[in-house]
């Protein structure tokens, strides 16, 4: 039987969770940057980024639920929805960075676009980590700590005579 204490130990600390987040989210983000670049050859960059963001958010949320934040199970619909909200903010950050790049550089090459996209993704990723840890997957940790056994109420003893208090009564009771 799993106890609340063992479940709490299974929940990684902030440093471990962040390292796992970087590994999972960074891997998905790196693959996403190449996918966006490839898709942008066939469709507008903003549409390619939106498509890749949707797919990568679904994949990353599953990885974070199972591995990063110690939930050990699939992400719920609620967690996917909340994660999508933080991904929308990350999408806005990457789009803004790319729009600024387009304003500053007339014809940016693919390597410069990759650097700007990955830098914006990294900045957005730090904020996303905080949201996922403190909001999206926080319920999993609070359930574990809420499962601490609760003291049962004490019931009044049935009518018993009072305990002996004097030396003579104590000797007779022994």
At 158 the pLDDT is 56
- At 97-127, the pLDDT tens digits run 999 999 999 888 888 988 998 899 888 888 8
Q: Is the dihedral of CA 71, 77, 80, 82 positive or negative?
A: negative
Q: For position 72, what pLDDT does the model report?
A: 72
- What percent of the chain has pLDDT above 70? 71
Biggest alpha carbon–alpha carbon distance for the chain:
104
| Mean pLDDT of the 32-36 span | 86
Cα dihedral 115, 117, 119, 121 sign:
negative
Residue 9 has a pLDDT of 45
Q: Is the pLDDT of residue 130 over 70?
A: yes
Q: Please name the residues in contact with 60: beta carbons below 8 A apart, sequence gap of 6 or more.
A: 24, 25, 28, 83
Pick the residue with more confidence: 154 or 68? 68
User: Are 108 and 102 contacting, i.e. CB atoms less than 8 angstroms apart?
Assistant: yes
CB 97 within 8 A of CB 125: no
Whole-number average pLDDT of the chain: 78
CB atoms within 10 A of CB 53: 19
Rounded distance, CA 8 to CA 25, Å? 23
Alpha carbon distance 93, 99 (integer Å): 10
Which pLDDT does position 140 carry in this prediction?
A: 47
């Amino acid at each position: 039987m799993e106890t609340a204490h063992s479940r709490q130990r299974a929940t990684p600390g902030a440093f471990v969770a962040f390292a796992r987040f970087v590994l999972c989210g960074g891997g998905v983000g790196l693959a996403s940057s190449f996918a966006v670049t490839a898709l942008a050859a066939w469709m507008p960059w903003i549409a390619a980024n939106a498509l890749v963001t949707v797919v990568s958010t679904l994949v990353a949320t599953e990885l974070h639920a199972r591995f990063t934040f110690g939930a050990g199970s699939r992400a719920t619909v609620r967690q996917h929805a909340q994660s999508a909200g933080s991904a929308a903010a990350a999408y806005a950050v990457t789009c803004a960075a790319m729009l600024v790049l387009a304003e500053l550089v007339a014809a940016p090459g693919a390597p410069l676009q990759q650097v700007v996209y990955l830098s914006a993704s990294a900045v957005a990723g730090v904020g996303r980590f905080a949201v996922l840890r403190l909001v999206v997957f926080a319920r999993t940790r609070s359930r574990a700590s809420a499962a601490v056994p609760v003291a049962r109420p004490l019931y009044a003893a049935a009518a018993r005579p009072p305990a002996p208090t004097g030396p003579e009564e104590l000797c007779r009771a022994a």
